[in-house]
Amino acid sequence: MSAGAIQTDKVLTELARQVKKGECVLFLGAGVHAPPPDGAAYPSELGPLLGGALAEKLAQECSYGEKLPQESPRDLQRVSLCFENTQGLGRAKLIDYLDEYLMKGKKPSPILKMLAALPIRIFVTTNYDRLLESALHQQEKDPTVVVYDPEASKPTRDPSDDPTEERPLLFKMHGDLQQSDSIVITDEDYITFVQRMSDKGELHPVPGTIRYRMSKWPTLFLGYSLRDYNLRLLFRTLRWRVDPSNFPPSFSIDRYPDPLILQVWQNTRKFITFVPEDLWSFVPWLYKEVRGKAYGDA
C-alpha cells in the first residue's frame, strides 16, 4: 500500500507532528469504512454498509416506497424513523438489523488499523459499530469507552485520569449498538441530540475532557462530509464566544468537499482547512510521517 502523492505543506507537517505527540482529537465517520479505489486491500463485503445503502436495506423491510413514494429511500434518518414506527418492527428490530449490516462478518479496515496504531489519545466517532474498538485491541490498547446518553438527568461520564496512548478515550457520539437507546439515527433521535448539545457544564453530552482538549489541540475529521450539521453544531458550540484567533487548527480530509461548506467554513469563517485527498492516500501518508515507516513494514 502506497502513501500516495500527498501535497504536503507546513500546515500538514505540523498536524503530523501534533499527532506524533498525541495532541490531536480525531473524529471518525462512516467514510473510514469505504473500500479503496481498487477494492483489493479491503473488499466491500468486509466493511459495514454505508448510509445510503443501509437506508435502502431498511426501506425494503418497512415498505418505505409504498408509504412515501415521493421520498428518497436513501435518507437514513427518515427511513429509520419509518422502520421504527412500522408495526411488527420497532426499535429493537432496528438495532438488530443495524447489528447485522454493520457488524456481522465485518472487519476493521487497514485505515482503522493504521489509525489505531498511532499515538492518538482521544477518538470521537459517530459510527455505531465496534470495529474501532477491535482495531485498538489488536494494538494491545485498552480504550475507555464513553457512549452518548440521550437522557440529561445525570452528569456525563468523564474519566478522572488523562487519556494515554495505551488507554485512549473513545467517545461514541451517536451511540453504540450494545446500548439501543443511545443510537442516534432517526429524525427524532437527531432532534433530541441537538437539544442535548445545548446542555451546560457537566450535563453536556460530550465529556468535558474532550471539550477542553478540542479548545487546545488540533481536530482532524476523517470519513465525513461536513454537510453533517451535527458536526458543525458541535464545532459552533465549542467555539461560542471564543476569539477565532485562539482556535487551534482543524482539518477535514475530504476528496470532494461541498463547495458551499468550503466557502463558508474555510474561506469566510476560517474554521477548518479542507485537504482534498482520499483517505487511502492520506492515512498511509500520516502513518509514515508519524511512525517513520510505511504501514506493514517490519
Q: Is the pLDDT of residue 228 over 80?
A: no
Three cell numbers written together for 113: 488499523
Beta strands at 219-222 and 169-172: parallel, antiparallel or unpaired: unpaired
Whole-number CA gyration radius for the chain: 19
Instruction: Check pLDDT > 60 for residue 175.
Output: yes
The pLDDT tens digits of the residues spanning 243-256 come to 666 678 889 999 88
Q: How confident is the model at residue 241 (pLDDT cuts 50, 70, 90)?
A: low
Is 50 exceeded by the pLDDT of residue 83? yes
Q: Which domains does the chain have, with CATH numbers?
A: 10-45+108-291 (3.40.50.1220), 49-102 (no CATH)
pLDDT over threshold 80, residue 242: no
pLDDT of residue 243: 63
Q: What is the mean pLDDT of the chain?
A: 90
Q: Which three cell numbers stand for residue 224?
A: 465525513
- The C-alpha atoms of residue 124 and residue 207 are separated, in whole angstroms, by 11
Amino acid 1: pLDDT: 36
Closest by CA to 133, choosing from 120, 149, 144, 121, is 144
| E-strand stretches of the chain | 25-28, 122-125, 144-147, 169-172, 219-222, 250-253, 273-275
Give the phi and the psi of residue 93 in degrees, each rounded to 5.
Answer: -65, -35
pLDDT tier at 215, thresholds 50, 70, 90: confident
* pLDDT reported for residue 4: 44
Is the pTM of the predicted complex or chain greater than 0.85?
yes
Residue 228, Ramachandran bin (φ over 0: left; ψ between -120 and 50: alpha; else beta): beta
- State the Cα angle at 157 between 154 and 162, rounded to 5°: 155
> What DSSP designation does 248 have?
P
- Tens of pLDDT, residue by residue over 131-153, are 999 999 999 999 999 999 999 88
Query: Quick one: what percent of the chain has pLDDT higher than 70?
Result: 93
